[in-house]
Each structure stands twice: as C-alpha cells, then as structure tokens.
Amino acid sequence: MQYLAVLLLLILLTLANDSPVVAKTIFGNGTTSAFPFTDKRLLGPNTDPGSATNVKTFGAVGDGVTDDTAAITAAIAAIASANGGLLYFPPGIYLISSQISGISNLEIACNNATITTNVVVTRALFYFTKTTNTYVHGCKFDQAQPRLPVYSDRTQAVVGVAILFDPGSSNIRIIGNAFTNLYTNALFFYHAETYVEVASNTFTSPQANQNIELEHMHTVTFGGRFDVHDNTFVNAPPLAQNINAGCIFFGNTVGSVNVSNNSFDYCGRSYFPSGSHPVATVDFYTSHENVTLNDNIATNNMWQFARVGSAWPAEIGGNTISRGPNASSSQLISIEGTAINFGLARSGSENIDVHDNTLMEDYPSGASTGIGAASYDYATPIKNLRIHNNSLVGFGFAALVSGVMEGVSIDHNQLTGASGNIISVSFNNHCCALTADHGVTEAQSRITGISITDNYLSSTGNSNSIQVNLEFDPAYIGTVGDITIERNVIKVDSPSVAAGIFARGPLPGAPAGQIFIRSNKVTNFSNSFYLQNWDRATIIGNDTWNISGADLYQERINTPIVGTTETKTVRPSGR
C-alpha cells in the first residue's frame, strides 16, 4: 500500500509539472493566490532568461536613442498569442514614445535594463485594463521629469505615469523595481481589485517643479487586499512645502490595506502658501476599511505623515516620524471623520488604534501638532479612538482631539512639549464649524467616554498641559458624558502662569456629565486645576508641587466638588 501511495503521488506531480499553468505561487508576504508563473521563470540580474520572450528578438535596440515602442508591442503580441508569458528586457536603455497596452498573464522582467521616454505619454508607458495576473520585477523606470515640460493642468487626462491599471485589473505584483524622475505618478491603480502587492521597490524624485497630481503611488477605488511593504521613497528636498510629491495616496478602498516596513524621506505637500492640493506622505483620503500602517520610518515629512479619513478600523503603530525643515505645522498623524457624501461606503472614523509611535519635532514656534483627530459633521463622530504608548517630543499639541466623539482614550503616552496644550480635547475642531448636513443636529450629537490616563507630560511653556474645553460661542448643546483625567504626571520645567489641568464644561449649554480628576501629580503651575461650567466634578487623591496660585480654581460647578481638601497633598516650594 505504501508503494502504491508513493507511485500515485509521483504521477500527480508529473501531471502538475506538464501543465502549462501552475496555479499556486506564494507571495512575498505569505499570501497564497492563483498566479501562472513558477519560480524558475523569475529573473534577476545575470539570470538565464530561458524560454522568455526577449524584446531584442523583435527588434528592440536598447540604446536609449532608438524608439523601441513597436518592438516591445510586437513582443507582447507574441506572448498574447500563447495566452501569457514572460517579457524579458536584457541590459540596455529602452525608449518608449507612446503607450504600450498590457495583457493578462504577463510577467515583465529586466536584467540591468532601464525603460524611459522622451515625450509626455498619454496615460502611461504601460497600460493595463481588464487584465489579470501581472508581475513586474527587476526593472528601472525613468520617467524623465527633468527632460519634459512642466505638468501644470490638473483637468487634463492622466499622463506620464509609468504603469497604470484601469478598471477590472486584478492580481498585480510590482516587486524589486526602481522608479526614478517622477513626472506625475509612478504607479496608478484605478478600480483595481482582488490583490495588489507593491514590495521592495525604490521610488525617487528630483526637486519637484509642480504642486498638483504628483504622487509616487495613486490608488482610486480598490476592492480586495492591497499590501505595500519594504519600499523606499526618497524625494529631493523641495523648493517649498507646497511643491513636492506625496508618496502613497489611497481614495476609497474596500477590503484591507497594509502599508508596513517602508521608508520615506521628504514626502508630502501642504496647501500653504499658494493653495495647492495637500497630500500626506501616506494618505488614506475618504472611505477605507481595515487599514494597517505599521513599522514605517518617515523623515522630513513636509505636511502630514498619515491622513486617515473615514476608516473602520485602522491601526497606526510602531512608526518613527519626524518633520522636515520649513514644513507645515499640521498634525503628523491625522484621523478625520469625513461627511457622508459622494456615495462613500464609510463615514466617520471608528475603532482606531494609534500606538507605539515615535514622533519628533523641532518646529520653532511650538505650535505644531503630533497626533490629531477631528470630526466635521455631527453625523460622523470619532468613535472608539485609542492613542496609547506613543512617544512625542517637541510638539505644542502632542494629542489634539476635536469635534464630536464617542469613546476616546489617551493613555500611557510620554509627551514632551515646547509649549501649548500637550493634550487637548475640545468641541472646536480648529478649522471650521461642524455641519448638520446629514440628518444629525448638534443637539442630537454626543461627546462621551473621554479618558486621559497614565500619561507623562513635560513642557517648557506657559499653557495648560491638559485642556478639555467644551465651551465655545455659542456653547455646545449636545450630550456630554463623563470625562476622566487620572494618574497622569504633569510638570513644567520652570514656574508657569497656566494650569496643569484645565477643564471647561459646556454650561449653561448642554446638560454636562461628571468630570473626574483623580490621582494626578502636578508640578510648577499657577493652578493645579482650573474648572468651570460643570454639572458635577470630583477631584480626589491628587499630589501637587510648587503651585504659585490657588491650587484649585473653580466657578459655575452645580454639584459640590468631592474630596478636594481631604485627600490632596500640597508640597512646599522647593521639594
């Protein structure tokens, strides 16, 4: 019986090897998916191309002067007649003057080969639509930005892309390539689906000369699984913060998106000073689900490192982030609850975990923000947001949460700020009035479940270190739930004229919940606690040092404060 079993196994393996298509390939990230190429067909430098279709067989010259468009097109046509195969570029520089259409079941491999152009190609050098199973690896794409006219018209059709995938394209791998001299986009995915992997590539751009339509990767409406990992993105230092390339842009994705273990330098652009379209280093604009943004290194960010809009859920963890010289002071990590519009699958942002990130800042005014979250319509609150175990150095606002929110925890962070409110929770979203365009009024909205606990805060400025402010003109009239501030260590290097904890409720506006201030340690402020406009307040078990004014300032508190005099210890000056 054992002999028969072994014989049967050998027969099955022989049949599999004779099959023209191998159905399983293991992707670099461990995912198994249908893909028609075996490992022996994958080429690298100085590897025998075997039975691949060599573009030089069809007349390509590869001298960087001769137009090789027709030869490459003929080679692809030959592969199409065989229902797919490998297109091989031997060493050389291959010039393309017009768009080349890709096919299904196409692998493109290069051996020390560069693919470039001398014109602004309509759409892309390689264009795929309604194709499946595309694998591009080992190639260099020179997009020739310094040699081409400045791109300036955002209204025109997509032009100058290296590789573009239009609707219906699926199962795509872009591995181990170099994209240089960015013109508009290196990779553009429009309504792609099923699976995309972009890994181990290098994306570089010279100093940009435009402020629109410039991202290394641009994705609009994706459904499936999208993995971007182990890539390097490097832009030359920009002329200004609004003239630069974004690195990765996603608009409206369904399924999952993972961006991990990449490195970024000088990415992103601001809208200031000339009103250009701002783009984060990694930009999740509008509706997304199952977002992972982990273990990346991003230096010299020119605007935000990450903008995450309407994501359910999202994890942003283990990233190391710093701001570039003369960059925008906008938050480096931004969570946004966008309005319900454009037929988006998601609105608001919910179940967001921001953890174990290191953010570094030396913005001269101290007015910059590290981690921010905001809602813009009463129908799209921030829900179940946790900011924890992060280290932030040098920010005016280390953590800033604003608008309407239901469940926010800011805990176990180490926050060292130059000045400003190191932690701030407010109804004012610092840009514009919240709207009621989608069926929920301000009176029907909620600010509930706010917890600020176990943080270490140290600053050099004269602002309230922890600030909760729900009173604006006019005062907030929605529902306010309980707010807890406890077990925080709060200090300033030299005596400050501000308060360690400042909490202003919405009275006489909305019925306010209770605020709890418990077991905090506060040092070197004018007031330890400054409270106004609350229905109920409990202050108990706190420890304070070197408070120059009244330890507690309070006004308009409806229910007496509990436990202040019995449990609080005021240390003498000099301790």
Report d(CA 260, CA 502) in Å as an integer. 38
Kindly report, residue by residue over 297-337, the tens digit of the pLDDT: 999 999 999 999 888 899 999 999 999 888 888 899 999 87
Report d(CA 151, CA 184) in Å as an integer. 8
The two structure tokens encoding residue 261 = 């273990």
Report d(CA 303, CA 328) in Å as an integer. 5
Helix and strand numbers (H, E) in the chain are 3, 52
Other Cβ atoms less than 10 A from the Cβ of 91: the count is 12
Strands (E), 111-160: 113-117, 124-128, 132-137, 140-142
Instruction: Judge whether residue 390 has pLDDT over 60.
Output: yes
Residues 6+ apart with CB under 8 A from 153: none
What integer pLDDT is reported at residue 475 of this predicted model? 72
What is the band of 477 on the pLDDT scale with cuts at 50, 70, 90? confident
Q: Which residue has the higher pLDDT, 208 or 249?
A: 249
Kindly report, residue by residue over 149-178, the tens digit of the pLDDT: 777 655 556 889 999 999 999 999 999 999
- Burial zone of 44 (CB within 10 Å; 0-12 exposed, 13-18 middle, 19+ buried): exposed
Asked if 321 and 307 touch (Cβ cutoff 8 Å), the reply is no
Kindly report, residue by residue over 87-105, the tens digit of the pLDDT: 999 999 999 999 999 999 9
Asked if 395 and 424 touch (Cβ cutoff 8 Å), the reply is no
Q: Structure pTM?
A: 0.88
Sign of CA dihedral 118, 122, 123, 125: negative
**Amino acid code (one letter) for 360:** M
